[in-house]
Amino acid sequence: MAQDSTQSLQQAFKQLPPMVLGAPEAMQVFFMDVQAWRGLEKTGPSPEGLRRLAFAPFIRPLESLGYGLDPWSLNAKVSFDDVSYFAGFGQAPANISYWGLKDKQAVAKLVADLKQGDFAAVDGDVPGLIANGAAGAMDMKKGNPKDPWRGMMGKTSFVLPRDTALIQASSAADMKRLAQPAPSVADNEIVAAAVAGLKEGVPADRGRIVQAVVISPVIGLAAIDPAKVLLASGADINTAKQNLQAAAEANGRGIPPYFGGIIADAQIDNLPAVVVSLSYADCATAKQAVDGIGAAWKESMAAAVEAKISGRTVEAGKLCAAVVNLTSPKAENAGNPILAQVMNRYMRRELTLLQIGTPR
């Protein structure tokens, strides 16, 4: 039996507090599976392989990756290949990063090795917290672009071991809350439905998720107050549905309003792919979204990059996921041309693929 393709992703989600899903951001959580990415190139990352890491700039320890895996590992005090995943959320300098390791013993060893360097225990009400300086401080003399704990500006890192992961932040401010993330992002029904969709879109025996990002409806709405459409834990789905519907009617053409979802960068049958999984209240609406994303791709993106499109709906608890695979017809290198195009459109605020509106 092949391992579930979403296993590492779900391990990361279990570490994350639900408050991140209430952030008024289009992209709320970033994830990278180290083992899946390293599996693309046995001899070490090529420029194309590094460029594929579209979410790396949003995860602090990955900012140092471009200088080579060996210098990174030396400064990190752990081999890059011994990390299972990285995840992160929030805006710099207050962004929070997670280092997923093999087991609790690996976490304890890394903490001990950091204390051999310039990390020391932090007094306060968060047991196990260590830091290499004062909160929010920068020490240019200690700056090292190859060091994931310091970076070019010599920024302080606060580090907290939690289960099989380490949490990295620039201050102790949220560490108490981060140490107790129950319920977690994994328990959110909107995220869980999107994950169920990804399991179908990325078959474990033929594919792996390399990176993923949790998205909110904000990504598909041009001019809307995020607070009206975001579902933090405990919010009412029916109210959110009504608000989303009203926003869609004012937004022009698009796909039906979704509660949230995941965009995954995957390698399926040795071909680069992007898999979109959006959470809906029912499968009839999700089917409209599958058709709408396919139409939007042909209309706005097919001329820029070639992709084979397939889609399906997946029942998930009370919700239903709209799942669309965009697969490259060939793999010329370790890059993902479809992901590059999606991120390019997102950065230019032209991602019509996921635009919420009245059906096309």
How many CB atoms sit inside 10 A of residue 73's CB?
17
Tens-digit pLDDT profile for residues 317-335 = 999 999 999 999 999 999 9
Q: To the nearest whole percent, how much of the chain has pLDDT over 70?
A: 93
Q: Which of 13, 213, 194, 198 is nearest to 100 (CA)?
A: 13
How many CB atoms sit inside 10 A of residue 221's CB?
24
| pLDDT at position 233 over 50 | no
Mean pLDDT of the chain: 92
Classify the C-alpha dihedral 96-100-105-111 as positive or negative.
negative
Per-residue confidence (pLDDT) for residue 10, from 0 to 100:
97
Helices H / strands E in the chain, number of each: 11, 14
| pLDDT at position 187 over 90 | yes
Q: Quote the CA–CA distance of 270 and 249 in Å, as a whole number.
A: 40
Per-residue confidence (pLDDT) for residue 353, from 0 to 100:
94
Per-residue confidence (pLDDT) for residue 231, from 0 to 100:
54
pLDDT average, residue stretch 194-208? 97
Classify the C-alpha dihedral 100-112-114-65 as positive or negative.
negative
pLDDT class for 232, splitting at 50, 70, 90? very low
Q: Which of 258, 253, 247 is nearest to 324 (CA)?
A: 258
Per-residue confidence (pLDDT) for residue 198, from 0 to 100:
98
Bridge partner residues of 30 (DSSP): 88, 213
| pLDDT at position 342 over 60 | yes
pLDDT class for 58, splitting at 50, 70, 90? very high
| pLDDT at position 3 over 70 | no
Per-residue confidence (pLDDT) for residue 227, from 0 to 100:
64
| pLDDT at position 114 over 70 | yes
Which pair of tokens denotes residue 26?
Answer: 């289009």
| pLDDT at position 136 over 90 | no
| pLDDT at position 41 over 90 | yes
Q: Which of 127, 90, 120, 85 is nearest to 102 (CA)?
A: 85
| pLDDT at position 2 over 60 | no
Q: Which of 206, 338, 198 is nearest to 270 (CA)?
A: 206
Per-residue confidence (pLDDT) for residue 43, from 0 to 100:
87
| pLDDT at position 60 over 80 | yes
The verdict on pTM exceeding 0.85 is yes
